[in-house]
Amino acid sequence: MKGAALAMVALAVAAGGCSESGLSPSAERGRQVYLAHCIACHNSDPAQPGPVGPPVKGSSRALLEAKVLNGTYPPGYTPKRPTKVMVPLPAVAPDLAALADYLR
pLDDT tens for the chain, 104 residues long, are 454 444 444 434 444 444 567 999 999 999 999 999 999 999 999 999 999 999 999 999 999 999 999 999 999 999 988 788 899 999 999 999 999 999 99
Against a cut of 0.85, is the pTM above it?
Answer: no
Any domain includes 33: yes
Any domain includes 83: yes
CATH of residue 98's domain is 1.10.760
Q: What pLDDT shows up at residue 82?
A: 78
What is the CA angle 54-23-10, rounded to 5?
140
Q: What pLDDT shows up at residue 10?
A: 43
| Residue 39, domain extent | 23-103
Any domain includes 4: no
How many other C-beta atoms are found inside a 10 Å radius of the C-beta of residue 44?
Answer: 10
Count of the separate structural domains present in the chain: 1
Any domain includes 74: yes
36 near 94, Cβ under 8 Å?
A: no
Any domain includes 12: no
Alpha helices in 1-104 (DSSP H): 2-16, 25-37, 61-64, 96-103
